[in-house]
Amino acid sequence: MKRYILIIVLFAIAAGLSIYLYYQQIKPEDAFDVSSFPMQIADWQGEDIPLEEMVYEILETRNILMREYKRKGEPGIVVYIVYSDKNRKSSHPPEICLAGGGIDITTKKSQEIAIADNKKISKLKVNYLIAEKGNARELMLYWFKGGNTFTANYLKQQFKIMLRQLQGKPSGGAMIRISTPITNGEEEALIRLTSFANKITPLIIKKIP
C-alpha cells in the first residue's frame, strides 16, 4: 500500500513538473529579439539574408537571425543565431538541416578558440565543421548558450536550460554559428572567424539573456 501511494506521489510530481515546464515554454514573446543584434560590428557591415518559411516551421520559432557581415578586401562572414526562451528545442545542432539542404559535412571536430575578455584570454570550445556544396567550401564554427554559460555540447545546454527553468531563472537558449568561405586554406579562414568571434562574444554576453 505504501509503495502504491509513493508511485502516485511520484506521478503527481512528474505531472506537475511537466505542466510547469510547458507553461514556461509558451510565454508570448522572447526576452530578446535577435534582429536587434548590431548591424555594424567594428568595421564589418551587416546585411540580412531572408529565410524561407520552412526554416521557421522546422525550428518552431521566428526569432532567427541570418546576416552576412562584410568589410573591404575580405570574404564575408555569415552569422546565424537562433534564440528562444520558450522552446529550448529550437537551438538544436545544425548538421541535420545542413544535410537537408544538400550540404556535405566533410570534417567535424571540437575546437578551442582564444577569446580575449578584459585583457584576459579564455578558451571557448566550439564545433568545427567543413561544409561543401559543389565547388564551394566553408568553415563553420558553432556553439550554444544556455543561461550565462557557453558550451559546444547540445545536451549540456539543454540540461542547463531545464535546471534554470526549475530555479525560476531566465532560461533562454541560443545556437550561435559563424561561417566563412575557405579561399586561402582552412587556417586563414579559422583566423578570420576567431577574430570575428572575439568581436561578437561580448555582444552576445551582454544582449542575449
Tens of pLDDT, residues 108-124: 999 999 998 766 778 99
Q: List pLDDT tens digits, range 154-188.
A: 888 888 878 877 877 766 789 999 999 999 999 99
Residues making up the chain, counted from first to last: 209
**What is the predicted pLDDT for the residue at 167?**
74
* pTM: predicted TM-score of the whole model, two decimal places: 0.81
CA separation for the pair 18, 78 (Å, rounded): 37
Domain ranges within the chain, ordered by starting residue: 30-207
**What is the predicted pLDDT for the residue at 117?**
74
Which neighbouring-strand residues pair with 60?
none
CA separation for the pair 33, 209 (Å, rounded): 11
Amino acid at 38: P
Nearest to 113 by CA among 55, 38, 199: 199
Let me know: does 181 contact 167? Beta carbons within 8 Å.
Answer: no
In the predicted structure, residue 68 carries a pLDDT above the cut 80: yes
Nearest to 123 by CA among 173, 175, 198: 198
Q: Which of 25-34, 35-44, 55-64, 142-151 has the lowest mean pLDDT?
A: 25-34
**What is the predicted pLDDT for the residue at 142?**
97
